[in-house]
Amino acid sequence: GTGFANPSVYSADLYRLITHVRDRIDMRTHTLPIEELARGFGGARDVAGLAGSQESIRRALLASVTGQGTPPEAWRLLETLDRDHPEAVRHVLGHPYVRVWAAESARAHPGHLGNIAAAAAVHAGASAVVPVEVIGGRVHLPTLGVLEVAGDGDHLDVRDGRFSIEGGGPWHPVRRLTAGGFSIALEDTDPFRDCHGWPAAPRLTDDEAGRWQAAFTAAWELIETAFPRYAPGLRAGLTTVTPLTPGEAGRDISSTARHAFGAVAAALPDGPDVLALLLIHEFQHVKMGAILDLLDLYDESDGRLFYAPWRDDPRPLEGLLQGTYAHIAVTDFWRVRRHEVPDPGHVQFARWRADTAAAVERLAESGAMTPLGERFVAGMRETVASWLSEPVPAAAEAAAARRSRRHQAAWTLPGR
């Protein structure tokens, strides 16, 4: 998966904006007990707390782009809907790529605010004529889908939850993946979804969407039965899976984006067990990104780069923290799964528990963690340490150690 970089990778303007937004939030309205989250888990209440803080951040980001070319009619409609139909507005603003637009693309596409307002009007069953932005011959309505436009129409006519536009063509709704009473969006329509470091897949065919559904059904059953400690948090915070274009043969691709809380992006893997691992692993990044939006866990002025045993490139401190946190879940996955899949399960478990434990100590010894960050790392250590004494076949332990040594040796070669 894609780790997160420290604030230095953001543009100076964007970093100032995010800092400004965070400073504007009344932190007294967001309580976040970190103990269970620090251990690598977090139930429905913990993740719901993160989601609540993200709503405040999104609203503050939207307010920050006021007057930057955004249509005033859209602002007025959103204000009215927020007063009269707050759940409809909350639902649309909770779409992961609304924040991506507000943080990264609002200057280039200010008219998209009208699309956001129009989507909220549809959910509210309201009536309004809304200026919307057409991108690539399509009008996108967050959480709903895209409408092809053949003419010059740029105002969507919403009537009692239905909508039309001059020159409107085929409608492509957002599909949903459903399993075990849990439903999430299969997002292949949003124009701002291509923010994950890997190319987003184009609109899926019905057969491709069907394969996603079959894989999700099996993956979710595995999560609920074999990894029940992660399921409540996923139910509370995972809203969207975004398909990515497959990479080279044999390589699993998955990612999250810092501004897209609630979304996991992935190319459909070969088996549902791998999809279960990708969802659990990547949702760790989703949680950590939201935690770092709220809490100072480390000294952001620390510009050092660190060795990470799961990466071939050096990682800034935040990247190491993100990767270590995610690999608690990776380790736990193989800790459980090795009894059903001993090859390669035992080797994977042995390697990642050792390397993750070493990465935890690297964080603890960095001297860059804040007092709260030290508490957080201590929680991570507590979880990983509890697994170090679990028996593993000697051959698997030796194979894992060889893999770790080979990876680290590459970092000690001359010229590194």
**What does the pLDDT look like over 234-291, one tens digit per residue?**
999 999 999 999 987 768 999 999 999 999 999 999 999 999 999 999 999 999 999 9
DSSP per position, 211-254: HHHHHHHHHHHHHHHH-TTTHHHHHHH--EEEEB---STT---E
Please state, as a whole number, how many other Cβ atoms lie within 10 Å of the Cβ of residue 248: 6
**Whole-number pLDDT of residue 251:** 81
SS3 assignment, position 118: helix
Condensed to tens digits (0 to 9), the pLDDT of residues 174-192 reads: 999 999 999 999 999 999 9
- Encoding tokens for residue 65? 């782009």
- Encoding tokens for residue 301? 């002025």
Torsion of CA 126, 129, 131, 132, to 10 degrees: 50
Please state, as a whole number, how many other Cβ atoms lie within 10 Å of the Cβ of residue 73: 16
Q: Which of 8, 54, 12, 7 is nearest to 32 (CA)?
A: 54
Phi (first) and psi of residue 119, to 5 degrees? -60, -40
**Average of per-residue pLDDT values in the chain:** 91
pLDDT band, residue 18 (cuts 50/70/90): low
Q: With contact defined as beta carbons under 8 Å apart, do 62 and 102 qualify?
A: yes
Q: Is the pLDDT of residue 14 over 50?
A: no
Mean pLDDT computed over 123-142: 96
Burial class (CB in 10 A: 0-12, 13-18, 19+), 181: exposed
Q: What is the pTM of this model?
A: 0.92
Phi (first) and psi of residue 134, to 5 degrees? -100, 120
**Structural domain boundaries in the chain:** 1-44+174-293, 65-173, 296-416
Condensed to tens digits (0 to 9), the pLDDT of residues 96-121 reads: 999 999 999 999 999 999 999 999 99
Condensed to tens digits (0 to 9), the pLDDT of residues 218-227 reads: 999 999 999 9
Q: Is the pLDDT of residue 2 over 90?
A: no
pLDDT above 90 covers a percentage of the chain that reads: 84
**DSSP state, 173?**
E
Q: Is the pLDDT of residue 1 over 50?
A: no
**Whole-number pLDDT of residue 415:** 59
Report CA Rg, the chain. 22
